[in-house]
A = this chain, B = another copy of it.
């Protein structure tokens, strides 16, 4: 990411903060820059360590708060179901999942139209694909009703 792109991201970030009434702190700017500049889907502790290089007294709690805040305003997202413990599934045949982003509930989607999705060949540069499944994310009926 070059300096121009970064500046664009930061401008957007400042704008969002103003609109949402969020204070623009050094901690938030550093965390945001760190995630935006990362290609490796870092976890909170990795971000903590990187940010600490520049803000030695930053706390892990601030990292978490900031990350969830950025997630809440749509500037970043999470990989996989958020905040979750491991869940197990005895159905090892191809099928898809709907994950509620609020309560974490997981529903099976057995849907012939979606079919067994095939991975294109050029993904083999990354690794051997063993399975492909869709992760549909959104609000389940119950959670949607409580808003």
Residues of chain B within 8 A (CB-CB) of A97 are 79
Please determine whether A79 and B79 come into contact, CB atoms closer than 8 angstroms: no
Give chain A's interface residue range (CB within 8 Å of chain B): 35 or more
Please determine whether A144 and B132 come into contact, CB atoms closer than 8 angstroms: no
- With A86-B43, A90-B35 already in contact, the answer to whether A138 and B128 are too (CB < 8 A) is yes
CB distance from A39 to the nearest CB of B (A): 7
CB distance from A83 to the nearest CB of B (A): 6
Query: Within residues 62 to 97 of chain A, which ones have a CB less than 8 A from any CB in chain B?
Result: 67, 70-71, 74-92, 97
* Chain A residues at the B interface, C-beta cutoff of 8 Å: 35-36, 38-45, 47, 67, 70-71, 74-92, 97-101, 105-109, 111, 113-114, 117, 119-120, 122-123, 125-141, 143-144
